[in-house]
């Protein structure tokens, strides 16, 4: 649902490059939003449940630059809402950068797994990213723009206890490479694969001992920050001769043996 009652096309919003960031109300997505906004982007902040956080972020950024940030709501496991989100952006008429960041993340022990968990994890992490990207690719092509997917180092070596999430992120990695081929030369498609950045919450929360074990398996012996991820996204957004690449931002965790 478009939060803003006035038409998106009635403002200088699209005079600047426009970025759509999915799942951007908080955590890493919000940091990417602040970083791109600082670089002069107008932002479409997508959220599902976090309306208060999304609106607070938009107000914060609009105070810095009037009418530079708007919110769009959609549940990305619902294809009707995915299509509606894409249509709202097409109606706006400009998109330079799409960041597929939204993600569900929780364990799915194989002896308790449900089809509902499969649908939720695969559709939020993979199906939605594919259909948003393909629906918006012509609009992005008009700006010779880019798509950046937030993947995970566990796309390469699955995370024990999280098989469906790992499968979804492996699909997102292949989607990055496949769409780089399909959408070239007009649209570049790259990925950022974070290691441990922000600990998961709720049903995916880790004990202090589990957190310590994860950090001990990074070469740099610490977690990264959301800004480390946002900086990688910004780099790829400006890297005009890079496509089909996936940048691990993981403190060396994927090399650890
Ligand atoms: N945090 C890390 O250390 C880490 C490590 C490896 C990879 N990553 C990847 O980096 C990205 C950002 O990580 P994060 O930890 O900041 O993400 P997050 O907080 O777990 O999730 C980001 C947002 O995704 C949205 N989302 C989830 N399911 C959705 C659905 N069905 N429809 C629409 N939106 C949905 C939620 O929006 P609402 O709150 O509005 O519902 C949520 O705020 C993710 O792709 C994640 O997989 C993160």
CATH assignment at residue 171:
3.40.50.720
Q: pLDDT tier at 204 (50, 70, 90 boundaries)?
A: confident
Output the CA 10–ligand 1 centroid distance in Å.
Answer: 31
Dist. CA 215–CA 197, nearest whole Å: 10
In the prediction, which pLDDT does 37 show?
98
Average pLDDT over residues 185-192: 98
Please indicate, yes or no, if residue 222 is contained in any of the structural domains.
Answer: yes
Q: Note whether residue 108 is domain-resident.
A: yes
Higher pLDDT, 202 or 228: 228
Answer whether residue 32 is part of any domain: yes
Task: Tell whether ligand 1 has an atom less than 6 A from the beta carbon of residue 25.
Answer: yes
**Where in the sequence is the domain holding 123, given as residue range(s)?**
12-248
Task: Read off the pTM.
Answer: 0.96
* Cβ of residue 27 lying under 6 Å from some atom of ligand 1: yes
Which atom number of ligand 1 is nearest to the Cα of residue 51?
Answer: 40
* pLDDT at res. 10: 54
Indicate the pLDDT class of residue 12, thresholds 50, 70 and 90: confident
The answer to whether position 3 is within a domain reads no
Residue 5: pLDDT band (50, 70, 90) is very low
Enumerate residues 6+ apart whose C-beta is below 8 A from 69: 33, 37, 42, 43, 45, 57, 58, 61, 62
Catalytic positions: 165
From 102, 122, 192, mutation site for ligand 1 pocket: most ligand atoms within 8 A of C-beta: 102
C-beta 224 within 6 A of ligand 1 = no
Which band of pLDDT confidence, cut at 50, 70 and 90, is reported for residue 6?
A: very low
Question: Is 49 close to ligand 1, i.e. is its CB under 6 Å away?
Answer: yes
User: Do the domain assignments include residue 200?
Assistant: yes
Burial-class residue 92 by CB neighbours within 10 Å (0-12, 13-18, 19+): buried
Peptide bond into 185 cis (omega under 30): yes
Cα(163)–Cα(166) distance, rounded to whole angstroms? 5
When the pLDDT of each residue in the chain is averaged and rounded to a whole number, the result is 95
In this predicted model, what pLDDT tens digit does every residue of 118-164 receive, in sequence order?
A: 999 999 999 999 999 999 999 999 999 999 999 999 999 999 999 99
253: in domain: no
Asked if pLDDT for residue 42 goes beyond 50, the answer is yes
Nearest to 148 by CA among 104, 193, 184: 193
Residue labelled with tokens 């938009």: 58
Residue-wise pLDDT tens digits, 74-102: 999 999 999 999 999 999 999 999 999 99
26 CA → ligand 1 middle, Å: 9
pLDDT of 244 above 90: yes
Asked if pLDDT for residue 7 goes beyond 80, the answer is no
- In short, whether 28's Cβ falls inside 6 Å of ligand 1 is yes
Is residue 20 predicted with pLDDT exceeding 70? yes
Residues 212-221 pLDDT 10s: 999 999 999 9
Asked if residue 257 belongs to a domain, the reply is no
pLDDT at 1: 45
| Index of the ligand 1 atom closest to the CA of residue 224 | 3
Domain count, the chain: 1
Q: Is 145 in the pocket of ligand 1 (CB under 6 A)?
A: no
């Amino acid at each position: 649902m478009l939060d803003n009652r006035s038409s998106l096309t009635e403002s200088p919003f699209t005079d600047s490059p426009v970025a759509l960031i999915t799942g951007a109300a908080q955590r890493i997505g919000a940091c990417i939003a602040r970083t791109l906004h600082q670089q002069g982007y107008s932002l479409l902040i997508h959220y599902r449940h976090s309306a208060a956080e999304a609106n607070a972020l938009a107000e914060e950024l609009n105070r810095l630059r009037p009418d530079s940030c708007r919110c769009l709501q959609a549940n990305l496991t619902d294809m009707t809402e995915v299509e509606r989100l894409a249509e709202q952006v097409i109606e706006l008429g400009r998109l330079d950068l799409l960041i597929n960041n939204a993600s569900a993340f929780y364990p799915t022990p194989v002896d308790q797994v449900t089809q509902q968990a499969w649908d939720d994890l695969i559709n939020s992490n993979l199906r939605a990213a594919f259909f948003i990207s393909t629906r918006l690719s012509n609009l992005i092509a008009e700006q010779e723009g880019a798509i950046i997917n937030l993947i995970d180092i566990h796309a390469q070596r699955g995370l024990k206890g999280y098989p469906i999430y790992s499968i979804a992120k492996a699909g997102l990695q292949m989607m990055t490479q496949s769409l780089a081929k399909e959408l070239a030369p007009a649209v570049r498609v790259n990925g950022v694969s974070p290691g441990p950045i922000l600990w998961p919450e709720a049903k995916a929360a880790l004990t202090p001992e589990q957190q310590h074990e994860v950090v001990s398996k990074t070469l740099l012996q610490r977690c990264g920050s959301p800004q480390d991820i946002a900086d990688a996204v910004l780099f790829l957004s400006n890297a005009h001769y890079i496509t089909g690449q996936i940048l691990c931002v993981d403190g060396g965790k994927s090399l650890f043996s």
